[in-house]
Structure 1
Amino acid sequence: MQSAPVEQPAAAAAAAAAAAAAQEACDLDYLLTFLHWTGTMRHPRAGPLASRAYQAANAAVTLAFVYFVCSQAVILFRGGTSDLDSFTLTLSLIDTQGTWLVRIRHIAALQPQFHRLAYQVGRDFGQFASAEDVAFLQAGSRRMRILMLLYLAFGLAECCVWLTAPASETGLPFVLALPYDVTRSVAYVATAVYCCFITLHTIMANFAADAFNASLIVQLRMQLTLLSRNIINCNNVTEKPYSLLDKAESLDAVRPCHPFSTTDVYYRLQKNILHHQAIIRNVELLQRCLGSILLGQSLSIGISVCFQLYQVAKNAESLQDAGKYSSYLFTMFAELFVYCWFADDLISESENVAQAAYDAVPSLLECPTSIKRSLLILMHRAQRPLSLTAAGLFPLSRESFVSIVNVSYSFFAILRNFKED
């Protein structure tokens, strides 16, 4: 009679160790640190001094981008629509920098939610993890980190291309409305540094935020993969499960697990249902954090793609200008594609959960009706695939990526015909 109280702390310690191992396997600290020191999002574990440094950086970044957008707006007002080439380029810059400015404020407003999602693997899914699951998470997270570092390296290459191709007569990468004479050496150097900062922060911090969001999506997809595997194997006992209920722990303490034990199957199925509910909650939280901004990004990228296609076509004879605007175009494509690709994987993996529940039916035919009913409820809920949407208007997927590109190309064709006429 004294064994159950002893088993419970041991099981709780094992569950805590599994949660810590799972969180460590999916650590996003390399992105959180970069976002913190670029003034984009405070690190969840930042101390008082680091938090004040973040607040100062965030305020400085906000002011820098507000000034840049205002400068471009002045140029747009002065030039008007008489020069369509200059008008579309300036409007494209306002669109891109303005969208990033909105994203900075959006991330700052929703920091607690993003911080929770950053540690979702250990906090929300750690109780469902086994040693085999941790190994799977480590492999998946390692592949994701390599991919995201390549994504950031691509962004750095795009920065170099843009900065080495001057857009103004003074040799600066941007045309700016400035209240001083930029031809003076000190003023020129200060303005060049400012342009470099704007370019690097727009692309690198933007890409880091995208990589962070994409990593969250991948974490949820991996949890769905583990859930599908566990549903199929819910009648095959490979190891003692971690505690969900005191009753379940006491049962595990006094009797050995058997593959055809009804109680074992029931609690494993209950564990899978709770796991599925936790995944659903976190997908909904991520949707609340990203839904509106994904719509804004999709519209912004669609507009930028249209304008940059026009700039590439207009500067086809100039290799330097064509390369510069092509790099801008590829940056927009990459930013949209990374969301659509991983969000599509999330949809596909959530659909696999229903299939896994269906595949588990033959092994549970001899189980009581209550277990079959629970499996049916899980299957019914899994038939509604989890997805990320642009404010509920359309789901982010590979098909939506193609649709946005097609719409952008259609507007580009109209714009080109208007210019020729």
Structure 2
Amino acid sequence: MAGTAPSSSGAAAVAESVSDLNYLLRPLHWMAVLRHPSGAGRSPLCFRLYTFAMASFTLSFFCSEVIVLYREGTEDLDVFTLTLSVADTDIIWLFRMAHAIVCERAFHKLALQVGHDFAEFLTWDDIPMLRVQCRKVRRFTLTYISFGIGACSCYLVSPVSAEGLPFILALPFDATQPLGFGVTWVYCMITTLHVVVMTMILDSFNVSLIAQLRMQITLLSSKIVSLAKEVSERPENCSETYAQYELRYRLLKCIRHHQTIIKNADLLERSLGAMLLAQSLSIGASACFQMFQIATSANGLQQTGKFICYLFAMLAELFVYCWFGDDLITESENLALAAYDAVTSLQECPLSLKRSLLLLMHRAQRPLRVTAGGFFPLSRESFVSVVNVSYSFFAILRNFKNEEE
């Protein structure tokens, strides 16, 4: 029978290797964002000091932007909106670093969920699908991160300040001198790469966790469909006692599999909810400001490209969550349909088995989803709504500037 202990153990080990997230966990660890699960048992003191140093670096950049806002005020609306959008990006990254520390244990548990929580439910038949899906997710996330690096490069080589720097900053020294300019540009480069690229790597890690849960739902749906098919095609001379025992065993295993998926989805929702709400609000504001900059302040192709890169980077950060969140909702709905179809194939089974399957179907009718703090689910429709709201505020800002002129 598929599911013997040695087979299941071997399949789980291969599945864990296939779904390994070390390519994201390592850079997060190296850049003091999230400790690697392998080092969770050691003292976090050195890592926390490193995290504090990197956070202080970003905090100093944020303070410099706040000083510019205080000095310049709203007299120059272009400078105000540009500086405010950069400060908004910095502060939300500081919030995300603090959030990663608070939810570190949950992230470590979820990073190892395939090998730990789902090991008993995996068979060799599941490996090909997992391998293909994990390869797609990895390819997508690496492309997403590469886009972030490209956007940072474009932004850093496009000056906006009088000194020729990529940001408008309040500095304690003269940045027009060669040494001061070089030091400041390196400072801008390190901060930009840390904030933007690490944000995208952390996003990639989070959506990979969502994708892993979606894959488990897909596997569970296929197991339920396969179970119903085997029952309908069972030979007449098959032992009723043995067949019912095997059916009960496999059905209970499917139910436990579903319960584990729900438990991990709830943990992921609790871990990401507050962060996603803050990030959605931040991205909505940044998108509004960047559309304003593109429409009113961009002079020439280089500056327009700079603002467009910023805008697309912000929207991409929200889009990846909405895309993978929508897939999770869709796959959860497909699970309910699979359970419904299976019920019609198990008419000759004992009432207790049909009742168990009906309970699974009833719970699956409430699809699993990841929300922004419980306010709205992350889906493709949500992404369109956020963009529409940002555009509405952009239109208000543009009309306000036109009235001033």
| TM-score bracket relative to the smaller structure | over 0.9
Q: What residue is the counterpart of 1:227 in the other structure?
A: 220
Stretch deviating more after TM superposition (332-341 or 40-49): 40-49
Counterpart CA distance in 1 for 2:228 and 2:366 is: 25
Match of 1:278 among 250, 260, 270: 260
Counterpart CA distance in 1 for 2:174 and 2:298 is: 32
How many pairs were matched up? 396
Q: Give CA-to-partner distance per residue, 1:360-386, whole Å, 9 cap, x none.
A: 123211111111111111111111111
Given the alignment of the two structures, is residue 106 of structure 1 paired with residue 88 of structure 2, yes or no?
Answer: no
Q: Give CA-to-partner distance per residue, 1:396-420, whole Å, 9 cap, x none.
A: 1000100000000000000000000
Given the alignment of the two structures, is residue 167 of structure 1 paired with residue 160 of structure 2, yes or no?
Answer: yes
Aligned CA distance change for structure 1 residues 36 and 258 (closer, same or farther; 3 Å): farther
Aligned CA distance change for structure 1 residues 393 and 320 (closer, same or farther; 3 Å): same
Q: TM-score, with normalisation over the residues of structure 1?
A: 0.90
- 5+ unaligned residues in a row in structure 1: which ranges? 1-6, 239-255
* AA of the residue aligned to 2:300: S
Q: Give CA-to-partner distance per residue, 1:193-219, whole Å, 9 cap, x none.
A: 110011111111000000000100110
* AA of the residue aligned to 2:248: Y
- 5+ unaligned residues in a row in structure 2: which ranges? 232-237
* AA of the residue aligned to 1:73: V
Q: Give CA-to-partner distance per residue, 1:268-287, whole Å, 9 cap, x none.
A: 11001000000000110000
Q: What residue is the counterpart of 2:290 in the other structure?
A: 308
- What are the residue-to-residue correspondences of 1:350-389 with 2, within 5 Å? 350-389=332-371
* AA of the residue aligned to 2:156: L
Aligned CA distance change for structure 1 residues 280 and 49 (closer, same or farther; 3 Å): closer
Aligned CA distance change for structure 1 residues 76 and 407 (closer, same or farther; 3 Å): same
Q: What residue is the counterpart of 1:391 in the other structure?
A: 373
Contact persistence 1:258–1:264 (CA under 8 A): no
Contact persistence 1:235–1:265 (CA under 8 A): no
Stretch deviating more after TM superposition (52-61 or 37-46): 52-61
Q: What residue is the counterpart of 1:250 in the other structure?
A: none
Question: How many percent identity over aligned positions?
Answer: 52
Match of 1:140 among 109, 133, 137: 133
Counterpart CA distance in 1 for 2:223 and 2:41 is: 43
Q: What residue is the counterpart of 1:26 in the other structure?
A: 19
Match of 1:119 among 106, 112, 115: 112
Aligned CA distance change for structure 1 residues 48 and 344 (closer, same or farther; 3 Å): closer
Counterpart CA distance in 2 for 1:188 and 1:174 is: 12
Q: TM-score, with normalisation over the residues of structure 2?
A: 0.93
| CA apart distance, 1:348 | 0.5
Match of 2:274 among 283, 289, 292: 292
* AA of the residue aligned to 2:165: L
Aligned CA distance change for structure 1 residues 377 and 179 (closer, same or farther; 3 Å): same
* AA of the residue aligned to 1:264: E
Aligned CA distance change for structure 1 residues 288 and 264 (closer, same or farther; 3 Å): same
| CA apart distance, 1:49 | 8.8
| CA apart distance, 1:237 | 6.0
Match of 1:347 among 329, 335, 343: 329
Contact persistence 1:257–1:264 (CA under 8 A): no
Aligned CA distance change for structure 1 residues 194 and 258 (closer, same or farther; 3 Å): farther
Q: What residue is the counterpart of 2:211 in the other structure?
A: 218
Counterpart CA distance in 2 for 1:24 and 1:218 is: 16
